[in-house]
């Protein structure tokens, strides 16, 4: 039918050029093809075959094309495919890829199996290790090799979208924003839904200061069977981090690092009112209120007949002013490892420097990680390690107690009317100048970000020493002592524009200094025995006890009535020149814990299964 229509068209459009005739004919030929190529919407869920949990971040692609999507936090996905007979290819790190023919279906369920190469992997399970194939509890794992490919400064950031059942969120976009980790949601009776963090066997409050380049593996224990050995403190799951250990052999030096430029994506900027749209909206609002409001509007923005002039007025783009700069983020790690079968050492140096997009924000961290393994005698081995971390965070961010909010970049007016055309000196107060008072009453977000200044300096020292003794064959005793000392200094400067300074009745600046020192130690003793000659059965026991203590002290000082022009560096160097209105100190009561624990592992040997 289409071929028969071409001569008719040719006779009717004899004046058309040859190329136009060809295109017109092809257009008609394509009509039935396009009509039949309707997109089909497919919905599905990708789950872990062993646990049944949804896998977030799994890739779902139409085979042979670049059309695809990723699953959400629950493992669900929605994808438009060209035909209902297409084949989907589902992949995720640590799992075997799977091809799913639709065969006319619009709803699919995909169960991914762990890669068989990982079944022999040795994983940390709390006070010990186990083969993945032998472990029956629910656990999610990410290896150090995968972490090194991810350009992030924090181990917590590296978990985003890479572990099923583990949700990672940040409170805001600052370089050192608080990272919230939830394992299978929240439901703690202690009002804290955070998991328990364990680094090389030592319980810590946060994992933000652990460089990803120093990590061998991250294991997340999720069910009651896996976390039971840690007791009630592991009710919300356990995040186990193992850092790199020294390896025997020739001394090797490795380097790992990255550098990246960051900028605010243009498509993420929100559309706001133009100067003309803004003044027209203000005019209409004044008309709805009263004639007095209209006269006040005209005083600062002009007569209605002159408002068209604002169509050519260039606005102040506050999103660009606050977040528009291009910043550099870089990480450098140099590692040294080597030794012989009796003595092995490793040393790692990490430098991380991350400039935040928000004006005045930034993050800098230096980490030294040292480990030593020494065989004292055939049945006795000594291990020691030290990790020193020095961190500095700049900027108050846009969350918590900060004065600036993200909405300020959107709600602040793009123009100030007639006042923008006048040369107004804000440093000399003139009560008769209405335009000066008008400008003084407005909060400049850029200046507010400068007046709300914060710097946090943190240093931590973690020292660890342990002895492992093979008493007899298959019976091993181990004792480990770990101590951590942390120093935290928080400097906060409030300039004249902040709400902290204004209630004092003047525009003078003020500053606060908070210092904290925390000390904790942990002593663990374990005894492990593996039974032999049980035929098709395998059984081992672990018994142990732990002593844990944590305490600290701190102080806080608030000083006011510094001159308005004094900047943060000068203020904190001359704290004695201000008026001290608050000083307090404290010494926290020590938190002590004595615990006893045990574990039994039983399995049938693989060759009898």
Residues with Cβ within 8 Å of residue 243, at least 6 apart in sequence: 199, 200, 210, 214, 215, 216, 369, 371, 387
Q: Answer yes or no: is pLDDT of 445 > 70.
A: yes
Q: How confident is the model at residue 506 (pLDDT cuts 50, 70, 90)?
A: low
Please provide residue 34's backbone torsions phi and psi, each rounded to the nearest 5 degrees.
-65, -35
Q: How confident is the model at residue 33 (pLDDT cuts 50, 70, 90)?
A: very low
Whole-number percent of the chain with pLDDT over 90: 37
Q: Answer yes or no: is pLDDT of 393 > 80.
A: yes
Q: Report the range of poorest mean pLDDT among 186-200, 251-265, 411-425, 559-573.
A: 186-200
Judge whether 346 and 336 are in contact, CB under 8 Å.
yes
Q: How confident is the model at residue 191 (pLDDT cuts 50, 70, 90)?
A: low
Q: What angle, rounded to 10 degrees, do the helices at 275-289 and 291-301 form? A: 150
Q: What is the pLDDT of residues 60-117, one digit of tens each?
A: 988 878 788 888 888 899 998 888 888 999 988 667 889 999 988 989 999 988 765 4
Q: How confident is the model at residue 416 (pLDDT cuts 50, 70, 90)?
A: confident
- Tell me the range of 18-22, 199-203, 250-254, 281-285 where mean pLDDT is highest: 281-285
Structure-block tokens of residue 135: 């472990």
Q: Report the pLDDT value the prediction gives residue 188, as an integer from 0 to 100.
A: 55
In 378-531 the beta strands, taken as DSSP E runs, fall at: 380-394, 452-472, 475-494, 509-530
User: Regarding predicted confidence, which is higher, 449 or 34?
Assistant: 449
Mean pLDDT over each residue of the chain, to the nearest integer:
82
- Rounded CA-CA distance 352/335 in Å is 15
In 148-248 the beta strands, taken as DSSP E runs, fall at: 166-170, 179-183, 196-199, 202-204, 215-221, 238-243
- Rounded CA-CA distance 93/55 in Å is 10
Q: Report the pLDDT value the prediction gives residue 26, as an integer from 0 to 100.
A: 35
- Rounded CA-CA distance 150/189 in Å is 35
Judge whether 597 and 544 are in contact, CB under 8 Å.
yes
Q: Answer yes or no: is pLDDT of 174 > 70.
A: no
Edge-to-edge, what's the strand order for the sheet holding 215-221? 139-143, 215-221, 238-243, 196-199, 202-204
DSSP string for residues in 334-364: EEEEEE-SSEEEEEEEEEEEEE-SSTT-EEE
DSSP string for residues in 232-256: GGGTT-EEEEEE----SEEEEEEEE
pTM of the model: 0.72
Q: Report the pLDDT value the prediction gives residue 230, as an integer from 0 to 100.
A: 84
User: Regarding predicted confidence, which is higher, 493 or 161?
Assistant: 493
Average pLDDT over residues 485-507: 81
Average pLDDT over residues 405-413: 89
Q: Answer yes or no: is pLDDT of 9 > 50.
A: no
Structure-block tokens of residue 588: 């926290």
Structure-block tokens of residue 266: 């243009």
């Amino acid at each position: 039918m289409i071929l028969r229509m071409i001569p008719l068209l040719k006779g009717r459009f004899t004046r058309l050029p040859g190329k136009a005739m060809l295109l017109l004919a092809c257009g008609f030929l394509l009509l039935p093809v396009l009509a039949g190529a309707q997109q089909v919407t497919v919905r599905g869920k990708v789950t872990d075959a062993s646990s049944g949990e949804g896998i977030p971040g799994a890739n779902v692609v139409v085979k042979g094309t670049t059309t695809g999507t990723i699953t959400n936090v629950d493992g669900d996905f929605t994808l438009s495919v060209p035909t209902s007979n297409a084949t989907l290819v589902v992949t995720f790190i640590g799992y075997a890829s799977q091809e799913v023919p639709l065969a006319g279906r619009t709803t699919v369920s995909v169960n991914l199996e762990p890669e068989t190469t990982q079944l022999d992997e040795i994983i940390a399970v709390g006070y010990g290790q186990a083969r993945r194939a032998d472990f029956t509890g629910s656990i999610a794992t990410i290896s150090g090799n995968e972490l090194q490919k991810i350009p992030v400064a924090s181990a917590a950031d590296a978990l985003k979208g890479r572990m099923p059942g583990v949700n990672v969120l940040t409170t805001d976009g600052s370089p050192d924003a608080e990272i919230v980790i939830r394992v299978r949601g929240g439901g703690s009776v202690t009002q804290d839904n955070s998991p328990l963090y364990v680094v090389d066997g030592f319980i810590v409050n946060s994992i933000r200061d652990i460089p990803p380049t120093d990590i061998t593996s991250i294991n997340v224990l999720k069910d009651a069977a896996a976390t039971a050995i840690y007791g009630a403190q592991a009710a919300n799951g356990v995040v186990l981090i193992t850092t790199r250990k020294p390896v025997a052999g020739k001394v090797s030096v490795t380097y790992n690092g990255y550098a990246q430029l960051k900028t605010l994506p243009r498509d993420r900027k929100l559309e706001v009112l133009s100067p003309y749209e803004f003044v027209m909206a203000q005019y209409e609002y004044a008309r709805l209120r009263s004639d007095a409001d209209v006269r006040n509007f005209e005083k600062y923005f002009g007569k209605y007949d002159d408002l068209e002039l604002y169509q050519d007025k260039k606005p102040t783009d506050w999103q660009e002013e606050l977040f528009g700069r291009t910043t550099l983020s870089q990480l450098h790690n140099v590692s040294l490892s080597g030794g012989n079968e009796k003595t092995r050492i490793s040393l790692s140096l990490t430098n991380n420097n991350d400039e935040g997009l928000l004006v005045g924000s930034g993050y800098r961290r230096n980490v030294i990680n040292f480990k030593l393994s020494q065989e004292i005698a055939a049945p006795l081995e000594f291990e020691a390690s030290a990790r020193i971390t020095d961190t500095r965070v700049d900027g108050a961010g846009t969350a918590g107690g900060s004065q600036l909010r993200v909405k300020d970049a959107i709600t602040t007016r793009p123009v100030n009317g007639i006042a923008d055309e006048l040369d107004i000196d804000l440093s000399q107060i003139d009560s008769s100048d209405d335009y000066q008072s008008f400008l003084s009453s407005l909060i400049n977000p850029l200046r507010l970000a400068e007046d709300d200044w914060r710097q946090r300096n943190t240093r931590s020292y973690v020292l660890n020493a342990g002895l492992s003794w093979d008493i007899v064959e298959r019976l091993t005793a181990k004792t480990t002592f770990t101590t951590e000392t942390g120093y935290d200094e928080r400097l906060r400067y409030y300039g004249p524009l902040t709400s902290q300074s204004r209630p004092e009745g003047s525009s003078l600046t003020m500053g606060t200094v908070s210092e904290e020192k925390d000390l904790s130690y942990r002593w663990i003793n374990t005894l492990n025995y593996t039974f032999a000659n049980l035929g098709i059965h395998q059984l081992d026991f672990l018994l142990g006890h732990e002593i844990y203590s944590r305490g600290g002290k701190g102080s806080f000082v608030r000083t006011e009535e510094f001159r308005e022009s004094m900047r943060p560096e000068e203020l904190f160097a001359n704290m004695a020149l201000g008026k001290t209105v608050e000083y307090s100190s404290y010494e926290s009561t020590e938190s002590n814990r004595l615990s006893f624990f045990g574990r039994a592992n039983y399995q049938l040997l693989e060759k009898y299964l």
